[in-house]
Amino acid sequence: MFTLSILGSGAATPTLGRHCSSQLVTVGSFRMMIDCGEGSQNQMKLYHHRLLSLDAVLISHLHGDHWFGLPGLISSMHLSGRTKPLYLYAPEGLKPLIETILAVSGSGLQYDLIIEEISPQQPEVLFENQWCKVTAFPLVHSVPTYGFMVEEVTPLPNIRKEAISRYDLTGEQCQAAKRGEDLTLADGTIVPNSWLVHPRKTPHRYAYCCDTAWFDQLPRWVEGVDMLCLECTFDTTLQSLADLRKHLTAKQAAEIAAAAQVDRLLLTHFSARYKDEKIEILEREAKSVFENVILAEEGSTLDV
Ligand SMILES: [Zn+2]
Ligand SMILES: [Zn+2]
């Protein structure tokens, strides 16, 4: 299982019907939240995601619409009886802020909150476990901001039944074949690995870039992902405002998706000026450049 649940899709301030940035990414039994705008814990409850199911939280940058929900979430998990550790990856500066908030509000936690401050200058692995590998990379915004790539770890390939009987494979030889090794027979003949195992499933990849302006390396860093989530705060008539505030327009987001040859483009972080039907402006603009566009819809869950 590799899914993405959208909790918040708005830029800057919450509006009636649209919340600030937050998503849940679930890979196998591992669940992480990416960004935690105000009210994200309520959104989890509204859409029936258990608070205690979170294993990690990733924060893209320290603009308030991406993390102001965090102190409440941390505190609620304590009050809900959490005991397992929570890993928090965030830009430099959040650790002392969270520690101060917990201290002055007298919020001792009964679980370990492990905060790792990040500042990658190039794509850098944050962590890897049996389900996924998560990489962070720098974006271009008005404060230090990082994008995240979540890559599924696929299980080792299965041994072909006919190979087991034909070559009388031992347990040790099966394990070697699963690791990708060829088999050397007693007479020195080499049996290529592809004759021994079924092809390994291609791991799916999801990239999240919010907030950012266009920059040259971005398409290369997210090349070929199954789903690319990009912010599109404005439409192209507001390009100068987008440039000033270091955001993307829908057209620019679609151009990045096209250049990176991704499978699907998920747009999010909509300015509050695009109410209800006006949001179609962004969709139309993006689709004029890149066909496979999805607008983030709060409460929806997508397969990556
Ligand atoms: Zn934002
Ligand atoms: Zn921002």
**pLDDT tens across 164-173, in order?**
999 999 999 9
- Residue 271: nearest ligand to its CA? 1
* 62 and 84 both lie in a single domain: yes
| 243 catalytically annotated | no
Q: For 8-12, 63-67, 296-300, which range has the lowest pLDDT when averaged over its residues? A: 8-12
* 184 and 251 both lie in a single domain: no
pLDDT band at 296 (very low <50, low <70, confident <90, very high): very high
How many distinct structural domains can be found in the chain?
A: 2
Instruction: Please determine, for residue 37, whether its predicted confidence score (pLDDT) is greater than 90.
Output: yes
* 138 and 256 both lie in a single domain: yes
Share of the chain above pLDDT 90, in %: 90
Ligand 2 centre distance from Cα of residue 162 (Å): 56
Of the residues 177, 196, 215, which one is the last residue of a structural domain?
196
* 12 and 57 both lie in a single domain: yes
pLDDT band at 17 (very low <50, low <70, confident <90, very high): confident
Instruction: Please determine, for residue 142, whether its predicted confidence score (pLDDT) is greater than 80.
Output: yes
* 190 and 59 both lie in a single domain: no
- Residue 143: nearest ligand to its CA? 2
Ligand 2 centre distance from Cα of residue 242 (Å): 11
Ligand 1 centre distance from Cα of residue 170 (Å): 56
Contact of 52 with 82, CB cutoff 8 Å: yes
pLDDT of residue 1: 93
Domain containing 172: what range? 161-196
**How confident is the model over 243-254, as a mean pLDDT?**
96
* 43 and 70 both lie in a single domain: yes
Ligand 1 centre distance from Cα of residue 9 (Å): 10
Ligand 1 centre distance from Cα of residue 299 (Å): 19
Which entry of 35, 65, 211, 235 is annotated as an active-site residue? 65
Ligand 1 centre distance from Cα of residue 35 (Å): 10
- Residue 246: nearest ligand to its CA? 2
- Residue 233: nearest ligand to its CA? 1
* 53 and 182 both lie in a single domain: no
Contact of 62 with 18, CB cutoff 8 Å: no
* 211 and 183 both lie in a single domain: no
* 170 and 148 both lie in a single domain: no
* 28 and 175 both lie in a single domain: no
* 191 and 268 both lie in a single domain: no
Question: In whole numbers, what is the pLDDT of the chain averaged over residues?
Answer: 95
Of the residues 139, 169, 196, which one is the last residue of a structural domain?
196
pLDDT band at 16 (very low <50, low <70, confident <90, very high): confident
* 192 and 62 both lie in a single domain: no
CATH of residue 255's domain is 3.60.15.10
